[in-house]
Structure 1
Amino acid sequence: MKRIETIQKIMECGVVAVIRAESKEEGIKVIEAVKKGGIKALEITMTVPGAIDIIKEISEIYKDEDLIIGAGTVLDPETARACILAGAKYIVSPYLDVETVKMCNRYRVAIMPGIMTVKEAVEALEYGAEILKVFPGNAYGPSIISSFKGPIPQGNFMPTGGVNLDNIKDWIKAGAVAVGTGGDLTKGAKTGDYELVTETAAKFVEEVRKARANN
């Protein structure tokens, strides 16, 4: 999948599922539940045990499906390259690391670096990032997107951290092109209730659709 196609699919879906789990087995169960709920963009964080192996395995399992597998909590270019080799179609970092951005650009893989200031946002754009991860989103709330869009209307922002079913519409209306959500989406997995994860995923997708329709 080409880089631009990856970006377009993430924007179309509007929700990136941040997958954190205690084991590889749990991670795959969560992935399957989220997929059933209609979320097509999955971010496997490097905090999951065996994360790179999971990326490699699910990239092979779902290679013929309309699913975008990415890697999150990537802190350095070495890890980014390992994830790319395992099949990750996009890389997400909690902060702006220029060398990681360069690595992804070198191999034409989408990179979403974390930003918190206008200076970081502009620098990330200068290095070629198409989507900027506003992290942690709950440190500011949806108004931060509107504030960023004032001086940087060309920026594509994706908040992560604190995005839930109660406020997702506010993030979209503020100008977010997509949202990243983890704990609020996958909390059912903690008790083994994967059907709840699927139901919650479907609600996130629906809330994005409704917010965009009313924007």
Structure 2
Amino acid sequence: MQWQTNLPLIAILRGITPDEAIAHVGAVLDAGFDAVEIPLNSPEWEKSIPAVVQVYGDRALIGAGTVLKPEQVDQLAQMGCKLIVTPNIQPEVIRRAVSYGMTVCPGCATASEAFNALEAGAQALKIFPSSAFGPAYIKALKAVLPPEIPVFAVGGVTPENLGQWLDAGCVGAGLGSDLYRAGQTVERTAQQATAFVKAYQEAAK
């Protein structure tokens, strides 16, 4: 299964506010990203997500992170979300999102969790927190997973170490605090997004 965006990097804009969302999402898309998640523990995500979908929904895979409950999936579907990212394996959340035709990338750490997610219909997996496990762990886990399933490293990924995760078998990564920290300038977001795109292009050669 191919990851459905051109660049397999997911921008995680945790803590973004509705006033900032359009400008920062625009900055990461201009840098080359085409997948963005706004976690549901961000302020007033109910305003930010539909606003971003309206402006950029035809340009990128826009969605939500830290999705924990099936009813949140219902709400997000009504907003036009196309991507659901979770920190854990909750089969009903995965099944509900798949029923709406969304792309689901749930967070897992073990082979049991990974296979439970795939059984529920997940089209991709994120290994979280990646930095706690390391590339060698992911490489070992990849050996038992279906080779066509895209695996993302999330947690502790930087432009400097992105190549390690790709070498371990990850198709790409979800990028949080090294890309965006709440309150930073749009210029900083653009700078970090450009650094990640460059790092990916160099590592993927």
- Separation (CA, whole Å) in 2 of partners of 1:71 and 1:163: 19
1:108 aligns with 2:101: yes
Paired with 1:143 and 1:153, the residues of 2 have a C-alpha distance of 18
Alignment of 1:9-48 (within 5 A): 9=5, 12-21=6-15, 23-48=17-42
Number of the residue aligned with 2:191: 199
More helix by share: 1
Matching of residues 1-150 of structure 1 within 5 Å = 7-9=3-5, 12-21=6-15, 23-64=17-58, 66-150=59-143
Give the RMSD, CA atoms, in angstroms: 1.7
Aligned residues: 204
Equivalent pair of 2:92/2:120 in contact (CA under 8 Å): no
Read off the aligned partner of 2:85 and give its amino acid letter.
V
SS at match of 2:170: coil
Distance 1:197 1:16 in 2: 14
For residue 180 of structure 2, what is the amino acid of its counterpart?
A: T
**Whole-Å separation in 1 of the counterparts to 2:189 and 2:158:** 13
Work out which of the residue numbers 151, 164, 178 in structure 2 matches 1:184: 178
> Aligned letter for 2:91?
V
Q: Hey, what's the Cα distance between the residues in 2 that align with 1:59 and 1:191?
A: 22
Change (3 A) 1:13 1:22: closer
TM-superposed CA distance for 1:52, in Å, is 2.5
Report the Cα offset of residue 130 of structure 1.
1.3
Tell me the secondary structure at the aligned position of residue 58 of structure 1.
helix
Please tell me the residue identity of whatever aligns with 1:201. Answer: A
3-state SS of paired residue (1:101): helix
Name the stretch that deviates more: 48-57 or 161-170: 48-57
**TM (normalized to structure 2)?**
0.92
Identical pairs, percent: 34
- Taking structure 1 as the reference length, what is the TM-score of the superposition? 0.88
**Deviation by residue 1:100-138 (Cα, 9 ceiling, x = unmatched):** 011012212111111110111111112221111111111
Q: Give 1:153 deviation, angstroms.
A: 4.2
Offset of residue 210 of structure 1: 1.4
CA deviation digits over 1:183-208, x for unaligned, max 9?
10124x6343x212112111111211
Q: Output one character per residue of 1:17-39: Cα deviation in whole Å (capped at 9) or x when no partner.
A: 00122521123332122122211
In the alignment, structure 2 segments of 5+ residues that lack a partner are none
Equivalent AA in structure 2 for residue 41 of structure 1: A
CA distance in structure 2 between the aligned counterparts of 1:163 and 1:175, rounded to whole angstroms: 14
Per-residue CA deviations over 1:82-113 (Å, capped at 9, x if unaligned) read 11110110100000001101101221211111
